[in-house]
Amino acid sequence: MICNIHSSNISSSNGRYTTASGGTTCGVANPSGTPSNTYYTFTAACTDTTFTLTATPITGKSQASDGTLILDNTGARTGTGTWPT
């Protein structure tokens, strides 16, 4: 949810999800470094009008068996994992 809210804020502030018009660099990035309390790595793919955020559990962490979670700009939740209800 935090990523979705943050991405919506980027779109609201500059009219797109990318950092430059027509680009593919998303305004959402994985935090630098991997703190010991991090359970997922995040990747983002986007165009000016769409985004897809993917959370992949880190091997060896307690969430490792959760499966991949994917969220897009429409709010669709997919992936190999189970989303909380």
- Return the top range by mean pLDDT from 8-17, 43-52, 55-64: 55-64
CB 25 within 8 A of CB 19: yes
Local confidence band at 28 (pLDDT 50, 70, 90 cut-offs): low
Q: In degrees to the nearest 10, what's the CA dihedral of 65, 5, 70, 17?
A: -140
Domain range summary for the chain, segments of one domain joined by +: 2-76
| Integer Cα distance of 32 and 14 in angstroms | 24
Q: What is the mean pLDDT of residues 24-41?
A: 68
Local confidence band at 31 (pLDDT 50, 70, 90 cut-offs): low
pLDDT at 82 over 50: yes
> Regarding predicted confidence, which is higher, 21 or 63?
63
Q: What is the pLDDT of residue 68?
A: 92
3-state secondary structure of 50: coil
